[in-house]
Amino acid sequence: MDITNRQKGSYGEHLVLSKLFKMGMNALLWDGDFFDLIFYSPKDPLQKLFKVQVKTAEIESRRPHLKNYSYKVHYGSYKRRNDQKLKPFHADLLAYVAFDIDKVFFEPTKRLNVTHRRIKRMQFDTFPSEETFEMAMKIVRTK
């Protein structure tokens, strides 16, 4: 049975949502232009909302021996050559989903300096989602 890219993307969004729930966050899917879900911590007295852009991928089929996941982290069109990197006002966090192993790696958007990101399988195995989430949120919270 073939799974479409849209179904994979939806699966990735729901996986990130469930990870956030497990970490005690209140979260919901959002149909925004630059972000896919929003969340806040019920422990935060201000209950500040954070935006997350979710990207889902499988190991690159052209070079499976490298065990890389490849993500397009831009807006605009590659065809028109006007693609731009996502910026912190678009989303606070990027959540990279490794579809075939059900793992998530979080990164703050303010650290993003490319329109295409590769993540090795080893990074998903080495750093648990909770750890990358906490590291990313420390950066997001700094001014």
Q: Check: CB of residue 57 under 8 Å from CB of residue 69.
A: yes
pLDDT of residue 22: 96
Q: Check: CB of residue 21 under 8 Å from CB of residue 29.
A: no
Q: How is residue 54 written in tokens?
A: 């979710």
Question: Residue 76 is inside which H or E element, if any?
Answer: none
Domain of 86, CATH number, reads: 3.40.1350.10
Is residue 59's pLDDT more than 80?
yes
The residue among 61 and 89 whose pLDDT is bigger is 89
Tell me the residue range of the domain where 21 lies.
5-141
Nearest to 133 by CA among 46, 23, 18: 23
Is residue 67's pLDDT more than 70?
yes
Q: What whole-number distance in Å separates Cα of residue 103 and Cα of residue 95?
A: 10
Angle at which helices 5-22 and 129-141 cross, to 10°: 80
pLDDT of residue 136: 95
Phi and psi (nearest 5°) for 136?
A: -65, -40
Nearest to 49 by CA among 93, 94, 84: 93
pTM of the entire predicted model: 0.89
Q: Check: CB of residue 100 under 8 Å from CB of residue 58.
A: yes
Q: What whole-number distance in Å separates Cα of residue 125 and Cα of residue 110?
A: 24
pLDDT one-digit tens code per residue, 98-121: 999 999 999 999 888 888 889 999
Please give the mean pLDDT across all residues of the chain: 87
Domain total of the chain:
1
